[in-house]
Amino acid sequence: MFPADVIVGGVKDGQTYFKDYHTTAHAPPTVDQSQDWFLIAGKETASGTILTFVRKLNTCDTADDIVITADTTRVIFSYHPDDVTSGIPYHGATRRGAKSVMLLSSSLTADDVQLPSDIVTFDFLADNYHVPSDTTTYACKTFQLPALGSKHHMIKYEPIITPGNELNVHHMVIFRCPKHVLNHYEFRCDNYTNTPKEVADCMIMSFIAWAVGGKTFYYPPDVGFSLGTDADPDFFIMETHYDNPLARSDIVDSSGIRITMTPTLRTHDAGLFLFGMSVSSMHVIPPMETDFLSKVICSSKLLEKAIPAEGIKAFAILQHSHLLGKEMATRLYRNGSELKPLAVDKHYDFNYQDMRYLSEERTIYPTDTLELNCVYDSSHKRNITLGGLSTHDEMCEAFILYYPRMPIDYCSSFPLYNTITNDVAHIYSQVKSWDWADPAVRAKFRSAVENSLYYQHTFGDTYAFMANTTSKDNSAAHPYIEPPDTQCQHISGSTQDRK
């Protein structure tokens, strides 16, 4: 359990014991000099021991405590059958566990939302799909929304996962089609060349994005996604990514997503904006790197073509990468300076991805620039990793929920590696044979990415809105600096004062 902020506690003979520890190595924890966790209650029942305790988010005890942030937090736990009042014996190989959580999640729950009485639901579900024994499968299925008769707002969506398949259904994206489609299809969509031509235009306009670990999502009380009008989609494709690392051939799945709609309209029509690296061999991650940074840029030259002068309001975000993903951040620039990022996750977990509310709505103006940072740990790899659909390929994407809806659905970019080659389409063939074990080679590639021009491309409904530009990354000029925690500036060194 290293590095970790640790609590050891229990109940013995009706008396609660409780103490604040920390770890300094892969060894038994050490008692904190400053006891900053405080016990509220403890009891022992027939089913186990229950402890309730509290701590400041930032105790200012930087030597021993970890600051609690809005990042993904890895909670680890262990327990022992005997009371531990002196010394800490090993808990055993089976009495332990770990879970990623959002300790500061601001997501709405059923207790926060009063749904209207006139709701209707529709299910996008697989139908006893026999998952291939391939380690990665993308399966697509089309759906026709029943006639609603009038404008409705989608105000909620929730995953429905076939019991036993929780770890195999990795993510689902529902795309909306810009036109009515006559036929229905089920097809493998690992390779976009397999997509029927009639629905090819559908695979760029996202409607719902869900990933493993995600829960039910409720739209804010004044926002909904418009359905039911002549201008709204009624034909959809659900893309399901199955992760099958054991290459099983016995997985049968009927998972999907249920949407909840209402004719009781809300004030604003929502949109979903997909912002990411081109999913292709132009996304290159070198091996043997602990913190390799890939950037995605969507500049004001593109945003100004679609965002209204008063801006759009972003209220939630889902950041997505694959197995090498370590950190992610969606950054915002205005007038040459970086503002507070929309979202930062320094502890990205491939198996815990959720649409997360922003702590406050953020306005994005047409003169702003968006940047997505994906940090990868490829230290265990010996060959380069490319962008792609497989779990073992990589992605760098952010799905941003916002209002009011604008005509841009997607903005992608990729580095042109212009200091390496003029033939960017064949960048992989240029670098695949490099001696990546040589630190100088890896430094050369990092420099090429850092100094690269970026090609950027946006599009919207039926490709009616398309634009592209090429620009250089200027984000380092005036980076955002997190303000210091003022409560820690006046803390003296004494234990009592720190409390």
Q: Which two tokens stand for residue 436?
A: 């990546």
Q: Are 395 and 321 in contact (CB under 8 A)?
A: yes
Residues annotated as part of the active site? 138, 320
